[in-house]
Amino acid sequence: MPRVDTDRFYRYSLEHYGHTAKGVQWTSTDSQLTRFEALRRFLPEDLSTLTLADAGCGLGDFFAFLSARGERPGRYLGLDVVEPMVEAARLRTGREILLLDVLQKDLPPADYYVCSGAMNTLTREETQSFIERCFMASTEGFVFNLLFGQDAPLSYNLCLPEEVRAWTAHLEAEMVVANDYLPDDFTVALRHRR
């Protein structure tokens, strides 16, 4: 079970902060965009022929970030468990957004999965499962960010890169980490070995 009731947590944020970075629990638009930049550097230069699945897509902000750069995946597919976010993301992106629990339901196949922030309220076991499920649903890889640090009860889910490496060792994936963009955050790219 997540550390918090995900649905209630995000509905509260949306009601109080609206369709903003704070509404999806980021401290600022700048920090959200900085994380998106870190995710983007691990994706192929040309997205136009790829299917990109955004796990925990929230309001569809990563799609908006790509669009503002003139980049569009061949197919963008958003997944989220909070119904008001799914509805808003559908309106904002005009793309296929599914109401789907990544930990419980079969995941649609995609070339790449991405995730920004959606694992921050999960337990460690759920985080490991989330990573494995998204990676296995991808044909090329999974790129995601996590909060950096030693985990503590009642806080957001904090992790260290070496923990992620241990969790994913059985997947036989190539793992690359970036931790040079924000002090308390890191991004991981897991790519299928060929």
Task: Evaluate whether residue 82 is within a structural domain.
Answer: yes
The CATH number given to whatever domain includes residue 69 is 3.40.50.150
* pLDDT computed for residue 104 by the predictor: 95
Q: Are strands 173-178 and 158-159 parallel, antiparallel or unpaired?
A: unpaired
Q: Which pLDDT tens digit goes with each residue over 42-91?
A: 999 999 999 999 999 999 999 999 999 999 999 999 999 999 999 999 99
> Of the candidates 73, 14, 102, which has an alpha carbon nearest to the alpha carbon of residue 65?
73
Supply the range of the domain harboring residue 80. 6-42+52-192
Highest mean pLDDT among 27-36, 110-119, 143-152: 110-119
Q: Are strands 96-99 and 75-80 parallel, antiparallel or unpaired?
A: parallel
Model confidence, pTM: 0.87
* pLDDT computed for residue 172 by the predictor: 85
* pLDDT computed for residue 158 by the predictor: 87
Task: Evaluate whether residue 47 is within a structural domain.
Answer: no
Q: Does the pLDDT value for residue 122 go beyond 50?
A: yes
Task: Evaluate whether residue 90 is within a structural domain.
Answer: yes
Q: Predicted confidence band at 127 (pLDDT cuts at 50, 70, 90)?
A: very high
